[in-house]
Amino acid sequence: MPVVRVALDVPLPKLFDYLAEDAGRTDIGRRVIVPFGQRRQIGLIVELAQASELPATQLKSVIAIDRDLPALPAEWLKLARFAAGYYQHPLGATLLSLLPPALKRLKPTRAEPPAAYALTAAGTAHLPDISPRAKAQRQLAERLQQGPLPLSEAGAWRSHLRLWHRAGWVEAAEAMPASPAPASPPPQLTPDQAATVAAVLEAPAGFGAWLLHGVTGSGKTEVYLKLIEAQLAAGRQALVLVPEIHLTPQTEAAFRNRFPGARLISLHSGLADGERLRAWRACLDGRVDLVLGTRLAVFTPMDRLRLIVVDEEHDGSYKQQEGLRYSARDVAVWRARTLDIPIVLGSATPALETWRNAERGRYRKLELPERAHAEAELPAVKLIDTRADRPRQGLSASLTRALRDRLARGEQSLLFINRRGYAPTLYCNGCGYVVPCPRCSAHQVLHRKGGKFELRCHHCGLMSRPPEVCPDCGSLDLRPAGQGTQRLEETLADQFPGARILRIDRDTAARRGAFAAMREAVNAREVDILVGTQIVTKGHDFPHLTLVGVLGADQALLSPDFRATERLFAQLMQVAGRAGRAARPGEVLVQTGYPEHPLYRALQAHDFARFAAQTLKERREAEFPPYSHQALLRAEAERIDDAIAFLDKAKQAGLALAREHGVTLFDPTPALLARVARRERAQLLVQAGSRQHLQGFLGPWLEAVRGLPTRTLKWSIDVDPLDF
């Protein structure tokens, strides 16, 4: 009897054998319900075998194979297997984590009604037979002859549609927008854009990774659109990844406008389970031309995929921070290589890993050095030395003056400060006490809600009332220390009573649709001053914005994280790029106590290449990525000693292997943020000169680590970690 090898969502890196009387090769990639221990579980059939290594008496039979859904294609299984192997995550847990949530439930998923119905050939043939007296049916027939009928417009026809569907007269179809907006003519490509498009289109067929390095406002999206157009015209599929969920509606609108006839699907974690399932199903059925989505979309099954675009490829949100800790950008590159198709990675501030790949010739570099609109110049960046021009309530005199000028001219300003809340801490002026989070090794942040203050921990979410007297010295003189977005908003309202101020941070943007509303208000010029965190730096175009002020950026220069400056530079380039998008020149004022710092000098020159060269030199000297490859074994326990002791044992277990593979194991250390929600966290860094060495070591080492006793301790492995 055939045996199926099933992947299950369990923390063991193996497959499980089951008997399946009627299973065949076409069942590979199908969902299956199997008995597991005392329970039933959903699994995925990954392999077929004639016999099992287990004795027949130990084999159980599958309960049911789900043949309603098409099987997952071999290419998808290969992609998921690569991700599980590379990121050292159990295969079953990986495969199941990549399915839409609705497919992980044991209860049979009720077939989602299709988004729309279209006539089949049989239905068309049947139409003349409808009785003239069946008025509703005749109207339905007429309506269907005009094109697919979205279920949302079916109204009283729903029951007829159900019957006709059963009879095979109609079939599921994609819901097209009722009346696609007339596509605006595409703008004329600039010579740089045209050269870029030509370079990719005229390259020999097959795998090619392109780094599209374009300054902010250079029109990278136009290049993507042209490349996608070529694929769609040939009946092929394209996949576009964007970093942020709130950027998808905007990008989606641009794509729909350009390709009104294309079947476009947008995928992100904000979709309801039903929508996600429907989108997945459409992809499996091949009823999709273009997929647009956040990192999870990289795992969309697409059988005619011929182009991948990763926009803002440097963005940290492409890296998943739990479970399967994958980088969607890196998985996308692997997928493109395996499919032998081109991939375009776009950014104004590429990740240094990507930049180095381009410098070494592994990726081909395409440059868009100028803004797409001839009159829009890059903004002038000026540094305000805060040692001379001391900020009051966060604002220097120069920045205040610049804001006043913009208000007088009716232009918009943006103040960028990467701290949400009212103030980073509550501070005792008597003894210097600051309020700690009792559960984490961090301070609590002061927030203002309504008229009241509250303390919140940004790591564990704990909320509490601020103390009225200092718990250490009894002083009543407790003050907010430093600036957050809320306090800056308050200061601005004091200083510019007539100004219309809008704050955008994670607290205000949490509501659905908040971003669209914000964009509208800004574009309708109902806002004079925007105050925001890094959330505003990404992808938004504000044509009337002519001033950007940057506060508190120096913080990142002092961070022990070696990637902090890379992130800061990207953020500052992005935020500076918001200024002067239209005809008026923009100005960027950066308040800093280190105006000589090379990072700010490179920013003034809009010179990413210079910044990259400097930073890569430092990385090379320190043997940091991209000059080495890393993995982080993390452990968390109630006591830090237990976490360290576990990592020590893991290190001992790996020493001989590490020598063999040329890999360095560092000593375990407490994490930068050692305590979160009463759990103590420690980590062990693994470093190697090449990816192959690191990968060769990790597999056998983790097998040994899995054998170590853990009790209540939890551990995880992060390959190519971004956060320490």
Q: Which of 460, 557, 582, 708 binds Zn ion (CB under 5 A)?
A: 460
Segment 576-605, which members bind Zn ion (CB under 5 A)?
none
Q: How far is the CB of 302 from Zn ion (least distance, A)?
A: 42
DSSP states along 106-151: SSPPPPPPPSEEEE-HHHHHHGGGS-TT-HHHHHHHHHHHTS-EEG
Q: Which of 430, 467, 626, 689 binds Zn ion (CB under 5 A)?
A: 430
Closer of 477 and 526 to Zn ion (Cβ) = 477
Q: Do you find a cis peptide bond into 626, omega within 30 degrees of 0?
A: yes
Q: Which of 87, 169, 363, 433 binds Zn ion (CB under 5 A)?
A: 433
Closer of 472 and 703 to Zn ion (Cβ) = 472
Residue 436 is classified by DSSP as: B
Closer of 127 and 434 to Zn ion (Cβ) = 434
Position 74 contacts Zn ion (CB under 5 A): no
Amino acid of residue 45: I
Size of residue set near Zn ion by CB under 5 A: 15
Position 428 contacts Zn ion (CB under 5 A): yes
Closer of 407 and 435 to Zn ion (Cβ) = 435
Closer of 12 and 431 to Zn ion (Cβ) = 431
Position 173 contacts Zn ion (CB under 5 A): no
Q: How far is the CB of 643 from Zn ion (least distance, A)?
A: 18
Query: Mapped to the 3 state alphabet, what secondary structure does 284-337 carry?
Result: HCCCCCEEEECHHHHHCCCCCEEEEEECCCCCHHHECCCCCCCEHHHHHHHHHH
How far apart CA 429 and CA 487 sit, in angstroms, is: 19
Closer of 433 and 715 to Zn ion (Cβ) = 433
Grouping H, G, I as helix, E, B as strand and the rest as coil, residue 259 is coil
Q: Which of 78, 364, 459, 610 binds Zn ion (CB under 5 A)?
A: 459
How far apart CA 357 and CA 627 sit, in angstroms, is: 11
Closer of 472 and 520 to Zn ion (Cβ) = 472
Q: How far is the CB of 444 from Zn ion (least distance, A)?
A: 7
Burial class of residue 318 (count of CB atoms within 10 Å of its CB; 0-12, 13-18, 19+): buried
Closer of 167 and 469 to Zn ion (Cβ) = 469
How far apart CA 300 and CA 361 sit, in angstroms, is: 29
The residue range among 14-22, 97-105, 464-472, 588-596 that interacts with Zn ion, by the rule CB under 5 A, is 464-472
DSSP states along 198-254: HHHHHSPSS-EEEEEEE-TTS-HHHHHHHHHHHHHHTT-EEEEE-S-GGGHHHHHHH
Q: Which of 437, 535, 588, 632 binds Zn ion (CB under 5 A)?
A: 437
Q: How far is the CB of 673 from Zn ion (least distance, A)?
A: 10
Is residue 144 within 8 Å of 119, Cβ to Cβ?
Answer: yes
Residues paired with residue 225 on neighbouring β-strands, in sequence order:
none
The residue range among 18-26, 108-116, 436-444, 493-501 that interacts with Zn ion, by the rule CB under 5 A, is 436-444
Segment 624-653, which members bind Zn ion (CB under 5 A)?
none
Residues belonging to the chain: 724
Is residue 351 within 8 Å of 611, Cβ to Cβ?
Answer: no
């990467």: which residue's tokens?
418
Closer of 381 and 426 to Zn ion (Cβ) = 426
Position 230 contacts Zn ion (CB under 5 A): no
Q: Which of 1, 121, 167, 431 binds Zn ion (CB under 5 A)?
A: 431
Could you give the angle at which helices 191-202 and 220-233 cross, rounded to 10 degrees? 40
Binding mask 243-272 for Zn ion (x = CB under 5 A): ------------------------------
CA distances, 526 to each of 1, 495, 530, 577 (Å): 71, 19, 11, 21
Q: Where are the beta strands (DSSP E) in 356-443?
A: 364-368, 380-385, 412-417, 425-428
Closer of 159 and 464 to Zn ion (Cβ) = 464
Which H or E run includes 525? none
Closer of 31 and 681 to Zn ion (Cβ) = 681
Q: How far is the CB of 476 from Zn ion (least distance, A)?
A: 9
Q: Which of 439, 544, 610, 693 binds Zn ion (CB under 5 A)?
A: 439
| Buried-state track 113-129, b at ≥16 Cβ within 10 A, e below 16 | bbbbbebbeebeebbee
Binding mask 14-43 for Zn ion (x = CB under 5 A): ------------------------------
Beta strand pairing call for 208-214 and 264-267: unpaired
Binding mask 545-564 for Zn ion (x = CB under 5 A): --------------------
How far apart CA 509 and CA 2 sit, in angstroms, is: 53
Q: Which of 457, 633, 643, 647 binds Zn ion (CB under 5 A)?
A: 457
Is residue 466 within 8 Å of 435, Cβ to Cβ?
Answer: yes
Closer of 47 and 472 to Zn ion (Cβ) = 472
Q: How far is the CB of 447 from Zn ion (least distance, A)?
A: 14
Q: How far is the CB of 457 from Zn ion (least distance, A)?
A: 3
Segment 469-528, which members bind Zn ion (CB under 5 A)?
470, 472-473, 475
Amino acid of residue 615: T
Closer of 470 and 650 to Zn ion (Cβ) = 470
Position 440 contacts Zn ion (CB under 5 A): yes
Residue ranges that bind Zn ion, judged by CB under 5 A: 428, 430-431, 433, 437, 439-440, 457, 459-460, 462, 470, 472-473, 475
